[in-house]
């Protein structure tokens, strides 16, 4: 089992729809959770960080964390073609080690 698993893509949604990206992790000691967006040919850039159970909203993006279920998700509301990218889930353990999922490629169709 991989340490961080993301729902297999690619994921395609129409413009204006909600895109839902999911991630599960195996290390119960994990404390910090991040979503990065990576455009083709570019390096990852941080979208959201979340540290405690519940929802965290930032504009059109909402991160959800459930430590009991070892699950973290990212919702993108009103998806735009510019949201088309690969989304990486990253989990940090107490020891500071970062583990990334393989990413989910999202395509938003106009």
Partner 1 sequence: KAGVTQTPRYLIKTRGQQVTLSCSPISGHRSVSWYQQTPGQGLQFLFEYFSETQRNKGNFPGRFSGRQFSNSRSEMNVSTLELGDSALYLCASSLETGSETQYFGPGTRLLVL
- The residue ranges that bind partner 1 (CB under 8 A) are 31-32, 34, 36, 42-46, 49, 51, 88, 90, 92, 94-103
Measured from the CB atom, is 25 or 34 closer to partner 1? 34
d(CA 5, CA 64): 16
Minimal distance in Å, beta carbon 106 to partner 1? 16
- β-strands 61-66, 85-92 pairing: unpaired
Report which of 82, 102, 107 is spatially closest to residue 19, judged by C-alpha positions.
Answer: 107
Measured from the CB atom, is 84 or 101 closer to partner 1? 101
Contacts with 71 (C-beta within 8 Å, 6 or more apart), sequence order: 22, 23, 24, 25, 64, 65
Measured from the CB atom, is 47 or 76 closer to partner 1? 47
Minimal distance in Å, beta carbon 4 to partner 1? 9
Minimal distance in Å, beta carbon 43 to partner 1? 4
């Amino acid at each position: 089992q991989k340490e961080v698993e993301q729902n297999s893509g690619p994921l395609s949604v129409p413009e204006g729809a909600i895109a839902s990206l999911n991630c599960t992790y195996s290390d119960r000691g994990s404390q910090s959770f991040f979503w990065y967006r990576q455009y083709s040919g570019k390096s990852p850039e941080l979208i959201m960080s979340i540290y405690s159970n519940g929802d965290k909203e930032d504009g059109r993006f909402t991160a959800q964390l459930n430590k009991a279920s070892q699950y973290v998700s990212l919702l993108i509301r009103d998806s735009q073609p510019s949201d088309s990218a690969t989304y990486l889930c990253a989990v940090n353990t107490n020891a500071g080690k970062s583990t990334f999922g393989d990413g989910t490629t999202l395509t938003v169709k106009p």
